[in-house]
Structure 1
Amino acid sequence: MKILLISANRERSPYPVFPIGLAYLAPPLAADGHELRALDLCFSADPEAAVTALLADFAPHAVVISVRNVDNVTWPGSRSYLAGVRGVVALCRGKVPTIIGGSGFSLMPAELLEHLDGDFGVVGEGEEILPELIRRLERGEDAAGLPGVVTRGSAGFAHPLPVERIGTPDRSLFAVERYRREGGMANLQTKRGCPFACVYCTYPLLEGRRVRLRPVGEIVAELKELEALHGIDYVYFVDDIFNYPPDFASELCAAMTAAGVTLNWSAFVNPGFVTPRLMEQMVAAGCDAVEYGTDSGSPAMLANLGKSFTVADIREASRVCRELGVDFAHYILFGGPGESRETVRESFALMDEVAPTAVIAMTGIRIFPGTPLHDRAVVEGMVPGNAALLEPVFYLSPQIREELRDLVTAEAMQRRNWVAPGLEINMSDAMLEAMRHFPVRGPLWKLMKRLGRSRVNPFSSR
């Protein structure tokens, strides 16, 4: 069969993200003998024209559409991506079977399949189940009952099965060089699954709680290929937590160093599993920046958010970075259960103390079905129990809901290293475009220390 793979993501802020999910699907589909073509709408000036032209020129027998995110999970400047995806599906409807998947789709699959009006949906990891779905379509057989497959009009679906053997993505169908040039880096995954219990997090829903590791040799080979074939000189590890399990992270860093991997990289890191020895290994392997999923500087809020570490861990992890000269950012989530003026100020005080390169602050927490935060929001009457939540709804602590925006804005505007995307503090789409012209690889927040005291005042246009 001829299969068209469409990446529906058009978001380019803070930088375009390579469609690694579709790249993982390419090898198993190619192994079944299918002819593949890819369409990445991230760089398309006219997405509808691009889809229409490729449907005519390639004449696929099936279309697979990947939905990375349903919205930008940013309050108060939230924007939904669903209208754009629905438009893509509409162009395919009636011409060819349309299969929708991806991390965004998998969060609310039955509701999204109906809303987007697709034919089939694949929930969770698709490397094993998508080829089986395609085989059934080829044979004209019913797809109902396949694990993780949603069909139009179905009342439910069988629970998806985790992929036991995570392979290597095939990037050859996509413009890797353009992502390197405009995004500053490539992305790479070393594991799947998250055993932690953050109350808002969807990783356990998407990948399960059991950690499944890729063979270290295959990861190193992928890094070497990115260097040799695509000229990649910076990688971001997209694992939910790079440094867990710690022994695996240590083994991988040692293998990268031994193999002579020369590119630089950054990753999302848990402060509770940072040690001087591991960070030294990371630096030796090319790490020049880390991002901490800190969420709060308040002990009470760390507990309320289900975090696995303490304020002492945050202090120690920050100290290790400073001593080794590693740029680091703390991500803070304001407005969760129990947030108050006192806990907000505790977060600002701790960030002042640990002095990161940047603080990325989000106000409000996007509520997704299946999370403990959703359960709490239902009990507290924030959302109805049967709400689809296709449009973004945010948890905002009742104790501080009315003043959260003004309080965070007033405090963040006094600090040069704070970025608050939803509030447009020290960051805007225009600034992001300008920053891409700097000769920087990796996260744009690394430039904060070079930008001085420039400001974007969120109240200037009010």
Structure 2
Amino acid sequence: MKVLLISANRERSPYPVFPIGLAYLAGPLAAAGHELRAIDLCFSTEPEEDVTRAMADFAPAAVVVSVRNIDNVTWPGCRSYSAGVKQALDRCRGAVTIIGGSGFSLLPRELLAYLGGDYGVVGEGEEVLPQLLSRLERGEPVADLPGVVCAGRDDITPPQPVAQIGAPDRQLFAVERYRREGGMANVQTKRGCPFTCIYCTYPLLEGRQVRLRPVADVIAELRTLADGHGIDYVYFVDDIFNYPPEYATELCRALSGAGLGINWSAFINPGFITPRLVDEMATAGCDAVEFGSDSGSPAMLTNLGKSFGVGEIRAASQACHEQAIDFAHYLLFGGPGETAATVAESFALMDEVEPTAVIAMTGIRIYPGTPLHAQAVAEGIISPADSLLEPAFYLAPTVRDSLGELVTSEAMKRRNWVAPGLEINMSDALLEALRAFPVRGPLWKQLKRLTRSRVNPFGPR
């Protein structure tokens, strides 16, 4: 069967992200005998026309559309992507349309109906998508397949995690362009998250059991990226790189011995980091880490369901300073119990630990199936009937009317703070300017080299 793969993601802020989800599907689909072609709309200036041309030239029997995100999860500057995906999908008529991806998996019924697709795949598709295509070819029923959504039906057989995580097949996509314009490649070493952050969708998408790739397989993928595509910087896209700690140590030692010449960064849990592990990471080529700290307030860390406390944030930050590794703390303001006092605690802790950057988000995007969703319903912030296809954010009642101005007034005093929704120290124009330089790794590393570029969305002060 001819199958057209479409990566619908067009968001380039803070940098374009390689469509690794579709790359994971390409190998199993090719192995099942399908003829594949791919369109990546991230770099497209005429996305609808590009889809139309591909449909005419390739004449696929099936189109698989990957929806990475529904919106940019940013308040108050929120951008929804659904309309753009629908415009592209409307050009695919005449073929069976199948929608998947992490964004789709969060709201599958709503998105399938809105986009007008024929089928959807919830969760990991490497195993079930070839089965779905095979049954469609033979005219057999598909509703019993794990994670498959059918247009006009509400029932979904629960998705099943894949038995073994393979390596993505990137040959259909412009790896070198992502290196040139995004500064790095993305690599996944594990799936699954056992933690209980109240807003997080990772356990819903990947399950709570951590599934690890063999370290040798990860090294082989990195070697292919380095030798075959000239990749010299990698971001590990695991929800938490350093858990389990033993696996992180094993991977770092393998990287150190591989001699790949790759630097890298990753998302880190402050509670599972030690000076020894940071030393192993630095030796293995790590030059930047991002901590999912969320808050500098002990009460808010508890309210958000975090697995660590303020002491671990301090210790992790100190370990990075000692190894001269750039680091950023990601904070979420406005969660349950947030007050002006807890906001002040977060600013005070960040002043104390002196990260390279603080990435501050105001308001927390609400997704169905999370504890935050249940709390938002109980508090009357949303109703149980709300589809959430249009973004809804949790903002604690005590700071709902003042949070934006409160964070803005303090963040604008500090050169290392970035608030994407408020365009503080970062804007789309500045990001585009930075891409003109040969930047490798996270763009926030450049804050220490830049003068301020600030916009106050609440007016002159």
| TM-score interval for Structure 1 and Structure 2 normalised by the shorter chain | over 0.9
Q: CA deviation at 1:452?
A: 3.2
Correspondence for 2:124: 125
Q: What is the aligned partner in structure 2 of residue 84 from structure 1?
A: 84
Is the contact between residue 122 and residue 149 of structure 1 (CA under 8 Å) also seen in structure 2?
yes
Consecutive unaligned residues of structure 2, counting only runs of 5 or more, are none
Are 2:366 and 2:391, in contact at CA under 8 Å, matched by a contact in 1? yes
Q: Which amino acid aligns with 1:314?
A: I
Contact 1:110 1:156 in 2 (8 A): no
- Cα distance in 1, alignment partners of residues 320 and 333 from structure 2: 24
- AA aligned to 2:38 is A
Please tell me whether the aligned partners of residues 202 and 239 of structure 2 are also in contact (alpha carbons under 8 angstroms): yes
Q: Any conservation in 2 of the 1:280–1:324 contact (CA below 8 Å)?
A: yes
Q: Letter of the aligned partner of 1:42 in structure 2?
A: C
Structure 2 residue identity aligned to 1:15: Y
1:250 corresponding residue in structure 2 = 249
Q: What pairs up with 1:177-216 in 2 under 5 angstroms?
A: 177-216=176-215
Query: Aligned partner of 1:358: which letter?
Result: A
Distance 1:366 1:459 in 2: 21
Structure 1 counterpart of 2:111, which letter?
L
Aligned to 2:40: 40
CA deviation after TM superposition for structure 1 residue 257, in Å = 1.0
Alignment partner, residue 311 of structure 2:
312
1:259 Cα deviation (Å)? 1.4
CA distance in 2: counterparts of 1:164 and 1:258, whole angstroms:
29
- Whole-angstrom CA distance in 2 between matches of 1:368 and 1:186: 28
Name the residue aligned to 1:455. Answer: 454
What SS does the corresponding residue of 1:180 show, helix, strand or coil? helix
For residue 71 of structure 1, what is the aligned residue in structure 2?
71
Alignment of 1:6-405 (within 5 A): 6-93=6-93, 95-405=94-404
What TM-score does the superposition give when structure 2 sets the normalisation length? 0.99
Aligned to 1:424: 423
**1:100 match: secondary structure:** strand
Q: Does 136-145 or 67-76 show the bigger shift?
A: 136-145
Distance in structure 2 (CA, Å) of the matches to 1:461 and 1:135: 60
Asked whether the equivalents of residues 419 and 426 of structure 1 are also in contact (C-alpha less than 8 Å), the reply is: yes
- Aligned with 2:451: secondary structure? coil
Shift of the alpha carbon at 1:115? 1.0
Q: Which amino acid in the other structure matches residue 43 of structure 2?
A: F
1:270 shift after superposition: 0.2
Question: Aligned-pair distance for 1:454?
Answer: 4.1
Deviation for aligned residue 1:234? 0.4
SS at match of 1:153: coil
Distance across 1 between alignment mates of 2:10 and 2:439: 22
The 3-state SS of whatever aligns with 2:124 is coil
- Partner SS state of residue 223, structure 2: helix
Residue 461 (structure 1) shift = 7.7
* Aligned-partner SS, 1:39: strand
Compared CA separation, residues 446 and 380, structure 1 to 2 (3 A): same
Tell me the distance in 2 between the aligned counterparts of 1:356 and 1:419: 12
User: 1:460, CA displacement in angstroms?
Assistant: 4.7
Distance (Å, rounded) in 1 between the aligned partners of 2:242 and 2:282: 13
Residues 430 and 453, structure 2, Cα contact 8 Å, conserved in 1: no
- Give the superposed CA RMSD: 1.0
User: Structure 1 residues 169, 33: closer, same or farther in 2, change over 3 A?
Assistant: same
CA contact (8 A) 1:261 1:285 kept: no
What is the percent sequence identity of the aligned residues?
Answer: 72
CA displacement 1:382-417 (0-9 Å, x = unmatched): 001121100000000001111000000000000000
Shift of 1:459: 3.8
For residue 84 of structure 1, give the secondary structure of its aligned residue in structure 2: helix
Residues 425 and 454 in structure 2, CA contact (< 8 A), matched pair in contact too: yes
| 2:120/2:150 contact within 8 Å kept | yes
State the alpha-carbon separation in 2 of the partners of residues 169 and 191 from structure 1. 13
Q: Which runs of 5+ in 1 are unaligned?
A: none
Secondary structure of 1:254's aligned partner: helix
SS in 2 for 1:168: coil
Q: Is the 8 A contact 1:24 1:169 kept in 2?
A: yes
Determine if contact 1:298/1:311 at 8 Å carries over to the other structure. yes
CA offset at residue 309 of structure 1?
0.3
Aligned mates of 2:211, 2:12 — CA distance in 1: 30
**What CA distance in whole angstroms lies between the structure 1 residues aligned with 2:338 and 2:459?**
27
Secondary structure of the residue aligned to 2:3 is strand
For 1:371 and 1:266, how far apart are their aligned partners in 2? Answer: 28
- The answer to whether the 8 A contact 1:304-1:337 is kept is yes
| 8 Å CA contact 1:8, 1:41 repeated in 2 | yes
